[in-house]
Structure 1
């Protein structure tokens, strides 16, 4: 693994949180392969999802990032301690993540925070390293989960 690979993969992973918090959907789209696997079952239950990056960032698809995030006043995703491995054109990044979600609501605290780890698989493309898979493992939660449920229903 070259230092350049490590830096580019780390940058891609950190940019995901940065772009998500700024609702930069075009920036986010550019970080992923066309097909994306996501597994947030530790957080939400259900099943992992496979689909296109456009489905992940859709305004209408149930559980899409854009639909959920658009219903929130603010978020902050802190992605730290990124560990990188590379084998040829395939990379893996594991990291810690804390996500703070804010929405004023009549059902308690305006904040819901979760902490856990990301395990991401990346592929080297002509345009650089792109995320093709994200698995989130939950470590802890704090606050009012109604924040997210209300955000999802408000965006429906």
Structure 2
């Protein structure tokens, strides 16, 4: 359970899943058409809203963006195995890690969306995140209050009752630096 909580907490950080690296159509995204333009804009808005909600610690808003169950894969950061978990559990993990003491900042771009069905899609994007916690600056905690990560996200989307929701998240870290204390220690 501790690994799952850490995975959920670190999921806030960012990524591109391994299978997407070899699947050119998903990597490139579907062509933009007049028929898909609004759906595309909504998916980008949802992913960007998720980042903003996490940074603002607006957990109710963050939860509202997900289906009830979500496939998560943050193994590039924490090991373990991909899992299907309740979205409430994911939010509980994030909120337990990113308390008022632990600031975060997320930035995403280069969105590529592939429609996999009339009511499903996958979005790949590049991401950057940092966590800052002043306690990390103490000598006994390593002397650095900042942890950063870069990588790619893969978000799955499903249309539920006419609205797009996030039903999957994979983050593949490509680089990280900074304080392991800040990365691994929940805020108090």
What is the TM-score normalised by the length of structure 2?
Answer: 0.74
Cα separation, 2, equivalents of 1:113 and 1:127: 36
The answer to which structure has the higher helix fraction is 2
How far did residue 49 of structure 1 move?
2.5
Aligned to 2:97: 68
Do structure 1's residue 8 and structure 2's residue 42 form an aligned pair? Answer: yes
Aligned to 2:145: 110
Contact 2:97 2:185 in 1 (8 A): no
Runs of 4+ aligned structure 1 residues displaced above 4 Å come to: none
Q: Which range moved further: 31-40 or 46-55?
A: 46-55
Count of residue pairs brought into register by the alignment: 148
How far did residue 73 of structure 1 move?
2.6
SS at match of 1:57: helix
Aligned to 1:42: 76
How far did residue 26 of structure 1 move?
0.8
Correspondence for 1:28 among 62, 81, 88: 62
The answer to which structure has the higher strand fraction is 1
Do structure 1's residue 121 and structure 2's residue 121 form an aligned pair? Answer: no
Aligned pair in 2 of structure 1 residues 127, 30: CA closer, same or farther (>3 Å)? farther
Contact 1:72 1:101 in 2 (8 A): no
Q: Which of the pair has the greater relative contact order for Cα pairs under 8 Å at 6+ separation?
A: 2
- Superposition RMSD in Å: 1.4
Contact 2:125 2:154 in 1 (8 A): yes
Cα separation, 2, equivalents of 1:88 and 1:129: 11
Cα separation, 2, equivalents of 1:108 and 1:127: 49
Cα separation, 2, equivalents of 1:76 and 1:27: 17
Contact 1:68 1:148 in 2 (8 A): no
Contact 1:76 1:101 in 2 (8 A): yes
**Larger Rg, first or second structure (1 or 2):** 2
Deviations 1:47-94 (A, max 9, x none): 223211111112xxxxx1111112643100101111112221001110
Cα separation, 2, equivalents of 1:6 and 1:24: 24
Cα separation, 1, equivalents of 2:185 and 2:36: 44
